[in-house]
Copies of this chain bind each other. A is one copy, B any other.
Amino acid sequence: MECQLEEKKVSKVGTKETSLLIDSDVHPYIVSLNELVPYMDESLQRRMRLGRFQQSHNVKNNYYREFKIPSSHYENIGPLQGMRLDAVPPSGNLPGSDQEYLRSDLLDRTNTTFAILNAGHGTMSAHHNVDLAAEYNSAYNDWLYHEWIIKDKRFKMTILVTPLDPNLAIKEIERVGKREGCVGINLQNINIPLGKRHFYPIYEIAEKYNLPIVLHPDAEGSGEYSPSQAVGPASTYIEWHSSLSLVAQRQIMSLVFEGVFERFPKLKVVFIEYGFSWLPSVMWRMDKNWKGLREEVPWVKKLPSEYVRNNIRLGTQPSEEPFHPKDLIEIIRMAKAEDMLLYSSDYPHWDGDPIDKVFKHFPQDMKNKIFYQNAKDTFHL
C-alpha cells in the first residue's frame, strides 16, 4: 500500500462507488526510439541505427534503413491507428507519451490508486534476432523505470523479457525484477504454447520472485515467431482483433493440461486484453474432457476449472457487450470468475472500456473485487 493512497478520497466520474481503483493496463508511449539511447550501449545504438549512428551514411530521408520495431501487420483503420483521439495531449504529441497529461486525463479523473504500465507499442518478442531483442528489452525496462516509475508512486510496471530465450529472460528478471514498482513479467505470446517445457525456467523464477506473468497482444501477427490465429491468417484488422480471444483460450488449455500449475502452484498468469466471456465454455469443455480422459494427463490432479480459477487472471477489457447488458454478470457467475477479473482501461487505446458504462449493473462487492482487490492480490500491491 502506498502513502499516496490516503490522499485520494475524492470520488470522480465512473468510480463514484469506490475510492480504490487499480488499472491493470495503461500504455506509456515513446515518441522516438532515440529516447532509449541513454539506456543503450553503443553497439545496440549502432544495430538499431539510433543516436549518433542515425543516418550514418549521409543520405537524406533514408527511411528504408530505419530500424523498425516489429508490430502487427494488421492496422487499425482509425484516425490514430488504434489510439483514442480524446487522449491526445495539449502538445499534440502521441497519446500516452505525455506523462503530465496522462496523470490528469486518466489517473486523476478516474481516481486511480495504481496504474500498471505495459509497454505500449511494438514488441521485440517475436523478432528473429533474440540477442538484439533482449538488449532492447533491457533498455526499455530501464527507460520506463527511470522516466516513469520513480516519478509517481501510482505508476507500476511489467518487465519486458524475451519469450524466445528463457535464459536471457531470467537474466533480465534477476537484473530488474526486485526494483520497487516492478510488479509483473510481460512475456508475450509466441508460436510455442505456454504449457511447453521451454517456458518452465521463466515460471520458476516468476514464482520465486512472486511476479505474475502477463500476456498482452502485441506479438500476435508481428513477426516470424508470431502465434497463429488458428486455421490461418485473418484478412482484416477487425477479423484479426476478433480472433485474439482464441489465443488466450488456447494458452489456458496448454497451461492447464501440461500441468504447469501443479509444478508451479503459486504462479499467476494474467491475460490482459483478450476479453473474458469465453471463460465458461473453456472451463466446461476442459472439465468434461478431464472427466473422460484424465488417465492421459495424470499430472492434472484437479478439475481444470480449479486451476483456471486459482492461477489465471483476466483483464476486463475489451469486455464483450451482450445483447442484454446484465448477461455479463451472469457469465461471471457461471464461471465463478469474480476473483479472476482485473479492471483494465487500456488507455490510450481505442477499444478501452468506459468504466461508468461496462460495470454499471455490477453488484458492489463484485466491483470492489474487479476494481481493486483482485489486482492488489495479483500484483502484490
B-contact 0/1 string along A225-264, CB 8 Å cutoff: 0011111111111110111011101110110011000000
Partner of A232, one of B191, B275, B289: B191
Cβ contacts under 8 Å, A280 to chain B: 277, 320, 322, 327, 331
Interface string of A92-122 (1 = CB under 8 A from B): 0000000000000000000000000000000
Do A247 and B275 contact each other (CB < 8 Å), given the known contacts A239-B254, A288-B321, A351-B292?
no
How many copies of this chain are found per oligomer? 2
Check A64 for interface membership: any CB of B closer than 8 A.
no
Looking at the complex, which one of B228, B275, B277, B336 makes contact with A231 (CB distance below 8 Å)?
B228
Contacts of A282 in B (CB 8 A): 242, 278
User: A151 contacts the other chain (Cβ, under 8 Å)?
Assistant: no
Q: Given the complex, which residues of B lie within 8 Å of A228, measured CB to CB?
A: 228, 230-232
Residues of B within 8 A of A253 (CB): 234, 239, 242-243
Interchain Cβ contacts under 8 Å between A and B, 25 examples: A76-B293, A77-B296, A78-B292, A192-B231, A193-B233, A195-B235, A196-B232, A234-B254, A236-B297, A238-B257, A239-B253, A239-B257, A239-B258, A242-B285, A242-B286, A243-B250, A277-B284, A277-B285, A278-B281, A280-B322, A280-B327, A284-B322, A284-B323, A292-B351, A327-B334
Is A357 in contact with chain B by the CB < 8 A criterion?
no
Complex interface: chain B residues within 8 A of A254 (CB) = 231, 234-235, 239
Chain B residue with minimal CB distance to A322?
B284
